[in-house]
């Protein structure tokens, strides 16, 4: 394995508007249990807090979360607040709004445009902040996101939100959003097992917009985490560098462009160190060609 002393600085940086973040970040979803939300069994609360503090110690300054990241016993936002407040000046916390869950964890209908302010304020309360660094509109089934994104743009003007992004988006959504307000990032599913995100990856790169893919390690397992046997190509590259398959997957993601931000999540301290260390893994041209074959290139 790579040295446990490798920090997020080795991954380089990108700017979300006027905010500089390191390209290896942290996704908070798994702190609540499994990625299946209320169906998950959360780990030890103290260990989750230790993971968050360790991430910051390793130089991570971009954390992805949401008020709807909660299980029966854990809230990602509450854990972040408990572990990291008062927050470092350079820490960027990105949240998502749009989906709605009731207190039992069941999914309700997607929020109406006039309900988005309440969701933003919920994130502010839980995180203990007076404004949010980045808020991403998580698109559900809308064809036209103009009203929803317009409502968030009003909150940006009011000072509750600093920058805006979109998630689970198609190129036409990006065009709609950019006609209303600046878009600093797009969060979409993308990875070796999900090459269908290529169009958005390229669109963001052409426009200088950050692309933050999710499920980059889980691949086809999505919310359930990594499942099944790993691809032989990934294992071959991992053996050649003496690293884990997860590190190879993250390094491949980062190699797709300087605008790509990785936001892997874990509740395991050892996995956290490995994920952050992936920012220092430099894949060769031969490695990339071999891995590209997994993505069908």
For 48-77, give the DSSP string: HHHHHHHHHHTT--EEE--TT-B-SS-BHH
At 224, is the pLDDT very low, low, confident or very high (cuts 50, 70, 90)? very low
196-224 mean pLDDT: 83
With residue 167 as reference, give the H or E element that holds it.
strand 161-167
Q: Please tell me the distance from the alpha carbon of residue 264 to that of residue 213, in angstroms, as a whole number.
A: 9
At 193, is the pLDDT very low, low, confident or very high (cuts 50, 70, 90)? confident
266-291 mean pLDDT: 95
Is it the case that residue 226 has pLDDT exceeding 70? no
Is it the case that residue 196 has pLDDT exceeding 60? yes
Catalytic residue among 69, 87, 190, 214: 69
- Give pLDDT, residue 42: 57
- Helix then strand count (H, E) for the chain reads 10, 9
Asked whether 139 and 98 are in contact (CB, 8 A), the reply is yes
In the chain, the largest separation of any two C-alpha atoms, in whole Å, equals 53
Asked whether 192 and 234 are in contact (CB, 8 A), the reply is yes
Is it the case that residue 38 has pLDDT exceeding 70? no
Q: Please tell me the distance from the alpha carbon of residue 162 to that of residue 166, in angstroms, as a whole number.
A: 14
pLDDT digits (tens, 9 = 90+) for 70-127: 887 889 999 999 999 999 999 999 999 999 887 777 777 789 999 999 999 999 999 9
Is it the case that residue 3 has pLDDT exceeding 50? no
Q: Please tell me the distance from the alpha carbon of residue 94 to that of residue 77, in angstroms, as a whole number.
A: 11
Q: Does 69 qualify as catalytic in the annotation?
A: yes
- Give pLDDT, residue 221: 47
SS3 of 34, please? coil
Asked whether 29 and 76 are in contact (CB, 8 A), the reply is yes
Q: Is the peptide bond preceding residue 86 cis, with omega within 30 degrees of 0?
A: yes
CATH code of domain 8-294: 3.20.20.100
Asked whether 293 and 235 are in contact (CB, 8 A), the reply is no
Q: Please tell me the distance from the alpha carbon of residue 202 to that of residue 204, in angstroms, as a whole number.
A: 5
Domain ranges of the chain: 8-294
275-285 mean pLDDT: 97
Is it the case that residue 5 has pLDDT exceeding 90? no
Asked whether 129 and 121 are in contact (CB, 8 A), the reply is no
Cβ-count burial of 179 within 10 angstroms (0-12 exposed, 13-18 middle, 19+ buried)? exposed
- Give pLDDT, residue 276: 97
């Amino acid at each position: 394995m790579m040295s446990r002393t490798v920090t997020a600085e080795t991954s380089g940086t990108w700017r979300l508007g006027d905010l500089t973040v390191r390209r290896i970040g942290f996704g908070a979803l798994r702190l609540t249990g499994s990625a299946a939300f209320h169906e998950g069994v959360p780990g030890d609360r103290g260990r989750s807090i230790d993971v968050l503090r360790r991430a910051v110690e390793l130089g991570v300054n971009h954390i992805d979360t949401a008020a709807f990241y909660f299980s029966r016993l854990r809230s990602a936002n509450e854990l972040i607040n408990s572990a990291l407040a008062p927050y470092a000046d350079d820490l960027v916390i990105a949240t998502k709004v749009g989906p709605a869950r009731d207190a039992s964890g069941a999914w309700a209908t997607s929020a109406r445009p006039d309900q988005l302010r309440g969701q933003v304020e919920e994130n502010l309360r839980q995180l203990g902040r007076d404004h949010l660094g980045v808020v991403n509109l998580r698109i559900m089934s809308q064809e036209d996101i103009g009203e929803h994104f317009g409502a968030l743009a009003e909150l940006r003007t009011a000072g509750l939100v600093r920058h805006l992004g979109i998630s689970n988006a198609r190129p036409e959504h990006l065009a709609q959003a950019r006609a209303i307000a600046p878009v600093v990032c797009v969060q979409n599913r993308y990875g070796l097992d999900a090459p269908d995100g290529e169009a958005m990856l390229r669109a963001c790169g052409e426009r200088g917009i950050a692309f933050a893919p999710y499920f980059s390690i889980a691949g086809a397992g999505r919310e359930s985490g990594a499942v099944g046997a790993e691809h032989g190509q990934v294992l071959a590259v991992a053996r050649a560098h003496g690293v884990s398959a997860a590190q190879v997957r993250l390094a491949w993601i980062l190699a797709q462009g300087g605008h790509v931000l990785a936001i892997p999540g874990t509740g395991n301290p050892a996995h956290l160190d490995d994920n952050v260390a992936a920012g220092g893994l430099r894949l060769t041209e031969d490695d990339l060609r071999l891995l590209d074959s997994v993505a069908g290139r």
